[in-house]
């Protein structure tokens, strides 16, 4: 039996319990580390890190596997295919493979094959032709590089509209080839002579960003400005991206390699060439960026002054010295071959010149 006092005590306890616990229709949730509330209208955070495909290779692995390569110059980089050299044929790639080359660079000039008005569409027939040639290389297990090559329309007096057109080109190229083998490498821009280093740095980042939208892990090649000597590469900003390869060109010294107005082969000549590769190797180690030299070579004659002819023995020794240094320092090269004064492979006869033994050994 309850007394008045015990009844009063019971009532007070009952009321406290009811207000303390709340009713079944009224709840409160406290945010704790294990029970966080997602703000309204905002999706929970997600991780958007792409998973590399099964054949993914790091840039360092790619550079180590490239071997010596060859340019198929004066072909798709000409105003029209066949205008500067014989048009590309599939059997060239069999010849490259049999000779022992490890990669092929396909220079491409897009300007005349792209609309001048937004959205700057690439011509379908040309796109199909580029893909056909790329597939010839991939089917033979080559590493293959495609780029934007001459593009003087962009390099001379670059402005916002030209940048937009160039970015649109790369957006389409990247999307077109996004499902190709990881052995296909993109090179942003060849020899941006006429552009400042700041302009090149900015353009590299803008193009790399659009490539990454469709090709998150494909290796991309970048360089400095001018004719992209080693010094320009070293001065260029390094994009903050794990899948990049730095690049330079070397026809040093040009009075020999391009103009055929002097000899080559002295101890001083060989030391100067070694210093280029040693310096680049030091830079590569310091910054952890793999490097290639996707143009090097020596002309048989100066095509602007054909009476100037390079000494054949000097030329062969020069090419061999390049390749020996490339192997020593782990900086693979791509010899310039254009069907003309820098010809290594004769397309019409399907034969290589004596220079082949200076390149593949």
**Model confidence pLDDT, tens digit, residues 348-359:** 999 999 999 999
> Running DSSP on this structure, what letter comes out for residue 79?
S
Entry pTM:
0.85
CA-CA-CA-CA torsion sign (87, 92, 96, 102):
positive
Question: Could you confirm whether 328 is annotated as catalytic?
Answer: no
Confidence of residue 53 (pLDDT cuts 50, 70, 90): low
pLDDT at position 56 is 95
pLDDT at position 52 is 54
The CA distance from 198 to 181, in Å, is 32
The residue that leads in pLDDT, 22 or 77, is: 77
Longest dimension (CA), the chain: 129
The CA distance from 147 to 106, in Å, is 7
pLDDT at position 222 is 98
**Model confidence pLDDT, tens digit, residues 145-173:** 999 999 999 999 999 999 999 999 999 99
| CA angle, 332 then 334 then 335, to 5° | 130
216: left (phi over 0), alpha (psi -120 to 50) or beta: alpha
Mean pLDDT to the nearest integer, 224-247:
98
Question: Could you confirm whether 206 is annotated as catalytic?
Answer: no
Query: What domains lie within the chain, and their CATH numbers?
Result: 59-359 (3.20.20.80)
CA-CA-CA-CA torsion sign (92, 125, 342, 100):
negative
Find the catalytic residue in 295, 312, 317, 328: 295
- Asked whether the beta carbons of 180 and 173 are under 8 A apart, the reply is no
Find the catalytic residue in 81, 191, 198, 206: 191
Residue 65 C-alpha from the chain's centroid: 16
């Amino acid at each position: 039996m309850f007394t008045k006092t015990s009844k009063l005590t019971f009532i007070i306890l009952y009321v406290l319990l009811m207000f303390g616990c709340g009713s079944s229709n009224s709840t409160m949730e406290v945010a704790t580390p294990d029970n966080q509330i997602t703000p309204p209208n905002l999706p929970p955070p997600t991780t958007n890190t792409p998973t590399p495909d099964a054949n993914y290779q790091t840039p360092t692995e790619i550079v180590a596997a490239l071997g010596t390569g060859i340019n198929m110059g004066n072909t798709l980089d000409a105003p029209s295919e066949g205008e500067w050299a014989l048009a590309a044929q599939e059997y060239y790639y069999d010849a490259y493979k049999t000779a022992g080359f490890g990669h092929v660079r396909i220079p491409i000039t897009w300007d005349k094959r792209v609309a001048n008005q937004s959205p700057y569409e690439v011509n379908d027939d040309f796109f199909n032709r580029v893909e056909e040639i790329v597939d010839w290389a991939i089917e033979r297990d080559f590493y293959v590089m495609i780029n934007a090559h001459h593009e003087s329309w962009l390099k001379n007096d670059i402005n916002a509209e030209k940048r937009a057109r160039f970015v649109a080109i790369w957006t389409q190229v990247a999307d077109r080839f996004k499902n190709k083998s990881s052995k296909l490498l993109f090179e942003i821009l060849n020899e941006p002579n006429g552009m400042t280093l700041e302009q090149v740095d900015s353009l590299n980042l803008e193009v790399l960003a659009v490539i990454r939208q469709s090709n998150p892990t494909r290796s991309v090649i970048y360089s400095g400005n001018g004719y992209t000597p080693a010094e320009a590469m070293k001065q260029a900003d390094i994009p903050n991206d794990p899948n990049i390869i730095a690049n330079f060109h070397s026809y040093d010294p040009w009075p020999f390699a391009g103009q055929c107005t002097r000899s080559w082969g002295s101890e001083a000549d060989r030391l100067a060439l070694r210093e280029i590769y040693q310096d680049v190797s030091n830079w590569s180690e310091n910054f952890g960026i793999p490097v290639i030299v996707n143009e090097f070579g020596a002309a048989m004659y100066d095509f602007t002054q054909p009476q100037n002819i390079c000494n054949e023995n000097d030329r062969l020794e020069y090419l061999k010295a390049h390749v020996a240094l490339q192997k020593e320092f782990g900086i693979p090269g791509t010899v310039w071959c254009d069907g003309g004064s820098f010809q290594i492979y004769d397309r019409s006869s399907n034969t290589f010149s004596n220079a082949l033994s200076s390149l593949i050994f």
